[in-house]
Amino acid sequence: MATSLSITSATADPALLDLPWQLPLDEWPDEYIAALPKGISRHLVRFAHLSGHVIAIKETTDEMAKREYEMLRTLQRLDVPCVDPLAVITNRTDASGDPLNSVLVTRHLKFSLPYRALFSQQLRPDTATRLVDALAVLLVRLHVIGFFWGDVSLSNTLFRRDAGAFAAYLVDAETGQLYDGLSNGQRENDLEIARVNIAGELMDLEAGGRVDEELDPITVSNGIVAAYRSLWKELTGAESFNSSERWRINERVDRLNDLGFDIEELAIKTTEGGTTVRIQPKVVDAGHHQRRLLRLTGLDAQENQARRLLNDLDSYTAKYGRKGYDEEMVAHEWLAKVFEPVIRAIPRDLRGKLEPAEVFHQLLEHRWFMSQDQSRDVPLAEALSSYIDTVLRHRRDEATVIDPPTGTFTLPIPTQGGDDAGEAADWRLTV
Ligand SMILES: Nc1ncnc2c1ncn2[C@@H]1O[C@H](COP(=O)(O)OP(=O)(O)OP(=O)(O)O)[C@@H](O)[C@H]1O
Ligand SMILES: [Mg+2]
């Protein structure tokens, strides 16, 4: 009997008790299970419905479930993009009293996709590069806070669209360790793990005929090393210059902001004679545009989406002569007159396709292409109806996939313009 079941959870949802914990996870009836695309893993992971949400359940050992739960909680507190831990369930027994594995429960990350579900037939080199770039940003962020991952790979990462790029989230923290700071050796170690794992994952895809012939797994996987190093250097490197070039301090700060990072502290040192200045950004934090957008509008978007939305806000400010007005007031006006009407105009049945901020970004892009094509300024409303009919309608849902049968399923969708539109054609689903 499941009387001794023990649930550890910060935000205990009583509905957790209604799930069939007395059954091994692979025997749970379909009614509980949410069929969503999932990455490859050693442990059994399944998605289930809970109070109108979807949760991910991983069967593992007691010790590992507890450890990963605590680690994910710490990472969440440190603002690292990762899955949200909900509970650890131990002391499971089946109907005859035999012990069952403990589980880690995390919230399913909405609109996220494992890399294998991000494309349809074949992975293109530019998509692969964008995945690797996103993973490099995540790895740098983890290293900045002193987290050694130990198992960096595409399979241990979830991706969300971010205005033409991707944002990467850590999904598997099992092997991770948090230190006061990482040595160069530790960072290099993680980077090497990343390179080797990514090369292996891409070669696997290649063996299955799932990569474009232009894609070279070695070149792409080496790309993470280059992307990581340049970002790390920009974020943490010291810089010396002549004291007459003090503007270079601002330049450095601007560059970091453009990359989406904020500086918590900048150490500035001058030499004895005051001839040279040396600066060293101390602690950097990602999400510069994200935070600004949140502060101004209350919208919670990804970094590149936020940058895109803020650009549109800037052009609104210029176009309607709002320069010099209170920034928050203008932002509120833009939200009410531009952003919200667009989102409200999306037919209800199409709302699960993409996140609102991503829809808005794609709409701006669509309008730009239309305007180029027709050599005129296409009004937003006109671009919107064209976007809904020719692009959005033909995408597959990314919020959730509603109760498809198990196994592989095919969405017979025509491919239409746009970036990764081809991905909508066919994809594999593991349940
Ligand atoms: N909260 C979540 N939201 C979305 N997907 C999830 C979530 N948790 C797990 N997954 C999916 O399940 C897969 C396996 O999870 P995870 O990597 O934690 O398992 P694992 O068995 O520890 O993996 P490994 O083989 O690397 O040890 C992930 O790749 C991801 O696709
Ligand atoms: Mg994993």
End position of a domain, from candidates 199, 221, 236: 236
Q: Are strands 276-281 and 165-170 parallel, antiparallel or unpaired?
A: unpaired
154 DSSP assignment:
S
Reported as a pLDDT band with limits 50, 70 and 90, residue 87 is very high
Residues 322 and 248 placed together within one structural domain of the fold = no
The atom of ligand 1 lying closest to the CA of 153 is 26
Q: Is there an atom of ligand 1 within 6 Å of 173 CB?
A: no
In a domain, residue 264? The reply is yes
Residues 33 and 99 placed together within one structural domain of the fold = yes
Reported as a pLDDT band with limits 50, 70 and 90, residue 424 is very low
- Lowest pLDDT segment from 1-5, 74-78, 112-116, 257-261: 1-5
Q: Which tens digit of pLDDT belongs to each residue from 344-367?
A: 999 999 988 899 999 999 999 999
Give me the mean pLDDT over the 47-72 stretch: 95
- Lowest pLDDT segment from 117-121, 179-183, 417-421: 417-421
Q: Does 384 score more than 60 pLDDT? A: yes
Residues 312 and 354 placed together within one structural domain of the fold = yes
Q: Which residues of 292-320 are buried (b: 16+ CB within 10 A; e: fewer)?
A: bbeebbebebbbbbbbbbbebbeebbeee
Residues 218 and 121 placed together within one structural domain of the fold = yes
Question: In 43-110, where do the E strands start and end?
Answer: 44-50, 53-60, 85-90, 102-107
Residues 205/211, Cβ–Cβ less than 8 Å: yes
Residues 39/153, Cβ–Cβ less than 8 Å: no
337 DSSP assignment:
I
Q: Among 155-169, 231-245, 252-266, which range has the highest average pLDDT? A: 155-169
Q: Which tens digit of pLDDT belongs to each residue from 5-37?
A: 899 988 778 899 999 999 999 999 999 999 888
Sign of the torsion formed by the C-alpha atoms of 376, 377, 379 and 384? positive
Residues 138 and 201 placed together within one structural domain of the fold = yes
Q: Does 38 score more than 90 pLDDT? A: no
The confidence score (pLDDT) of residue 416 equals 36
Q: 3-class SS at 216?
A: coil
The confidence score (pLDDT) of residue 341 equals 96
Mutate to test the pocket of ligand 1, among 33, 45, 152 (most ligand atoms within 8 A of CB): 45
Question: In 120-275, where do the E strands start and end?
Answer: 147-148, 157-162, 165-170, 177-178, 239-242, 261-263, 266-270
Q: Which tens digit of pLDDT belongs to each residue from 105-123?
A: 999 998 899 999 888 789 9
The confidence score (pLDDT) of residue 284 equals 67
- Lowest pLDDT segment from 71-75, 207-211, 349-353: 349-353
Q: How many domains does the chain have?
A: 4
> Which ligand neighbours the alpha carbon of 109 most closely?
1
Residues 332 and 263 placed together within one structural domain of the fold = no
In this structure, what token pair is assigned to residue 169?
């989230």
> Which ligand neighbours the alpha carbon of 114 most closely?
1
Q: Is there an atom of ligand 1 within 6 Å of 430 CB?
A: no
When computed from its CA atoms, the radius of gyration of the chain, rounded to whole angstroms, is 24
Q: 3-class SS at 303?
A: helix
CA count, 13 A, side-chain hemisphere, 302: 28
- Rounded distance from Cα 157 to ligand 2 centre (Å): 8
- Rounded distance from Cα 39 to ligand 1 centre (Å): 6
Bridge partner residues of 57 (DSSP): 46, 105
Domain residues for 225?
113-236
The confidence score (pLDDT) of residue 121 equals 83
Mutate to test the pocket of ligand 1, among 38, 76, 154, 427 (most ligand atoms within 8 A of CB): 38
In a domain, residue 312? The reply is yes
In a domain, residue 426? The reply is no
Question: In 129-287, where do the E strands start and end?
Answer: 147-148, 157-162, 165-170, 177-178, 239-242, 261-263, 266-270, 276-281, 284-286
279 vs 249: CA distance, rounded Å: 7
Protein residue closest via CA to atom 2 of ligand 1: 108
In a domain, residue 278? The reply is yes
Residues 121 and 229 placed together within one structural domain of the fold = yes
Residues 245 and 331 placed together within one structural domain of the fold = no
The atom of ligand 1 lying closest to the CA of 114 is 31
Residues 226 and 248 placed together within one structural domain of the fold = no
The confidence score (pLDDT) of residue 263 equals 81
Residues 304 and 320 placed together within one structural domain of the fold = yes
In a domain, residue 404? The reply is no
Q: Is there an atom of ligand 1 within 6 Å of 158 CB?
A: yes
Q: What is the pTM of this model?
A: 0.83
Give me the mean pLDDT over the 367-378 stretch: 94
Q: Does 286 score more than 60 pLDDT? A: yes
The atom of ligand 1 lying closest to the CA of 107 is 1
- Rounded distance from Cα 315 to ligand 2 centre (Å): 43
Mean pLDDT of the chain: 88
- Rounded distance from Cα 8 to ligand 2 centre (Å): 22
In a domain, residue 349? The reply is yes
The confidence score (pLDDT) of residue 26 equals 96
End position of a domain, from candidates 108, 143, 171: 108
Phi, psi (deg, nearest 5) at residue 144: -60, -40
Q: Is there an atom of ligand 1 within 6 Å of 174 CB?
A: yes
Protein residue closest via CA to atom 16 of ligand 1: 172
Give me the mean pLDDT over the 41-57 stretch: 94
In a domain, residue 407? The reply is no
Residues 248 and 230 placed together within one structural domain of the fold = no
CATH of the domain at 55: 3.30.200
In a domain, residue 81? The reply is yes
Q: Does 331 score more than 80 pLDDT? A: yes
Q: Does 429 score more than 70 pLDDT? A: no
Residues 194/152, Cβ–Cβ less than 8 Å: yes
Give me the mean pLDDT over the 277-294 stretch: 83
Phi, psi (deg, nearest 5) at residue 90: -125, 180
Give me the mean pLDDT over the 38-61 stretch: 93
Q: Does 180 score more than 50 pLDDT? A: yes
Q: Does 204 score more than 80 pLDDT? A: yes
Residues 36/108, Cβ–Cβ less than 8 Å: yes
CATH of the domain at 208: 1.10.510.10
Residues 244 and 225 placed together within one structural domain of the fold = no
